[in-house]
Structure 1
Amino acid sequence: MKNSPDASGSEKHSEAKVQESRVVTEEEWLEKWRTKNIGFHVEEGHPLADLGHHVIGVEISESALKEFFTEQNLPFSEEAVSQIPGAKLFKSTSGNISLYCCSIYDLTSTVTGKVDGIWDRGALVAVNPSERERYAQLILSLMNQKCHCLLVTCLYDPNKHKGPPFYVSDSEVKSLFGKHCDIKYLEKRDTLSERHKKWGLDSFWEVIYLLMLK
């Protein structure tokens, strides 16, 4: 991969062995929402929808989805999802924001159809390392032939922080998506914050890739 993070020498851990067995349970994620331990939260949540695109999202926490619509002052409807037992669909009355409350692995193309674009901002780095292959296969199955997938990963010393977010190496991205996608390295940004320093980290990089089916 031309101009990849490896080339700059910033990626020092080709294998994050220390995190391989780390498992974050569904209850742990729900507890993060209950205690508002959500450093990934942003105020503006629907710029693509404002541009007229139909946006689809998925979240395990029902309260998080309801909170989104409340914060954004968006009226919404709630309905069951016939293809996924126990799942719910929260949809803006405008019809162009559809948020599913279920496991991400249940949100297949039979439910959503193929998509034109994917913005993975905090998903791959959040799934348990042992489930990355499963997650990658899901993403690939959702992409139509001209889909553009923006993927954000993070680099830091995995010996100093157990995750999430989990350390995802450049070689891991290639392993997960390289067989089926052309991978273009776009940018690497130093995003070290006080929150990261409290985890014991002295460096934290976000890496952005563009994935397109071959």
Structure 2
Amino acid sequence: MTAAQIDRVMAISEWEDRWQEGRIGFHQPHVHHMLKANLDKVLCGRKQVRFFFPLCGKAVDMKWLADMGHVIVGVEISEKAIKQFFEEHSLEYKEEPVPAIPEAKVFKSPDGRISLYQCDLYKFSSAIEGEFGGIWDRGSLVAINPCDRQKYASLIMSLMDKECRYLLDTLEYNPELYKGPPFFVPEEAVKSLYGDSFNIELVQSRDAFGEKYKAWGIDSLLEKVYLLTPKAN
């Protein structure tokens, strides 16, 4: 891991503050084009795949996949983000406690196709919702504190069934110029976290640099999407 960001830590409360204050430049109002472009590689012809969205925010991608018949489970610390997701899509929801996680809540659509858990991601487990056939990690691995990456990867792997296909979105820039988040996640980091258990394929790469990123002080930004699939035992 690069030394530049190794000690950078964001408290959960800082993420909640961002949602409360509307500082959510990371939210995208449209379905992520790299998810669209690579969805067939994730589905592999499967229907009604159970998708996990770590640190889901109010991603419109969840509604898009649910409308195709897939089942969505997300985890997000901000209750405001979760409620906005349902309200902005004119979806009814019911709110329930989560017996296995004190103080957590789950917000569910009436058809049960979308369940969003408001809790600390690291308190979530397969004991609560089983395992998943698909994961879309956009803005999650790049958001967690660099010192927590091993813990994060262990959690993600524990949530995957043996057919799971994990689509991972990362960002590369000069970490000496910007402290994050989102954090710099090079290919070596992906390989060191997941390479022992997963085949890792770079499926798309694009120059993502634009005007808004000049404020970060960086001069280039590369967005890469990897497809991770469990190695045959």
Q: TM above 0.5, one fold?
A: yes
1:205 aligns with 2:222: yes
Structure-2 residue corresponding to 1:35: 21
List aligned pairs for 1:130-169, cutoff 5 A.
130-169=147-186
Structure 1 segments (4+ residues) deviating >6 Å: none
Task: Map Cα deviations across residues 181-200 of structure 1 (whole Å, 9 max, x no partner).
Answer: 11111111111122211111
SS at match of 2:112: coil
Of 123, 128, 142, the residue aligned with 1:111 is 128
Structure-2 residue corresponding to 1:7: none
Structure-2 residue corresponding to 1:19: 5
Cα deviation for residue 205 of structure 1 reads: 0.8
Instruction: Return the TM-score normalized by structure 1.
Output: 0.91
Between stretches 28-37 and 127-136, larger displacement belongs to 28-37
Whole-Å separation in 2 of the counterparts to 1:175 and 1:61: 30
Structure 2 residue runs of 5 or longer lacking an equivalent are 31-59
Cα deviation for residue 67 of structure 1 reads: 1.0
Instruction: Return the TM-score normalized by structure 2.
Output: 0.84
Whole-Å separation in 1 of the counterparts to 2:4 and 2:219: 18
Of 132, 140, 143, the residue aligned with 1:123 is 140
SS at match of 2:202: strand
Cα deviation for residue 210 of structure 1 reads: 0.4
Cα deviation for residue 202 of structure 1 reads: 1.1
Cα deviation for residue 42 of structure 1 reads: 2.4
Task: Map Cα deviations across residues 146-190 of structure 1 (whole Å, 9 max, x no partner).
Answer: 100000110000011100000011111000000111111111111
Identical aligned residues as a percent: 48
Whole-Å separation in 1 of the counterparts to 2:29 and 2:110: 20
Whole-Å separation in 2 of the counterparts to 1:191 and 1:50: 28
Structure 1 residue identity aligned to 2:173? Y
Structure 1 residue identity aligned to 2:24? I
Q: Relative CO higher for 1 or 2, CA cutoff 8 Å, sep ≥ 6?
A: 1
CA root-mean-square deviation: 0.9
SS at match of 1:56: strand
Whole-Å separation in 2 of the counterparts to 1:105 and 1:192: 31
SS at match of 1:100: strand
Cα deviation for residue 68 of structure 1 reads: 0.9
Aligned residues: 200
